[in-house]
Amino acid sequence: MKPTILVYPDGKKRFKLNVDSSRYAVGACLMQEVDDRDRVVAYASKLLTGSQKNWITKQDGISEIECWGVVWATRAFRCYLDKRGFDLYRDHQALTWYTCRLE
């Protein structure tokens, strides 16, 4: 197993933002294509607070946490994503409407 190598961001290339959430935390990975492979620029994660963990008990709690995760991740990587297009990847089907609205 090889160690993960981060790459320097290239302002001329499009970014890819992968976001995933659970009932305990949110994680994100910012990537760019280098030599025909997706390479990691940066990682970020955040534990949910007490009140945020309570979202899971609501009817649409999973969707709320997943949506908040996307907002949190775009803020975390704002210095890279601000005023430029990027591709968003998430595993929650209910947020498909959000992606469609952005296009």
**Domain range list for the chain:** 15-94
pTM, two decimals, is 0.79
Does domain 15-94 fall under CATH 3.30.379.10? My reply is no
Average pLDDT over residues 61-68: 78
- Percent helix / strand / coil, the chain, rounded to 5: 35, 30, 30
Confidence of residue 85 (pLDDT cuts 50, 70, 90): confident
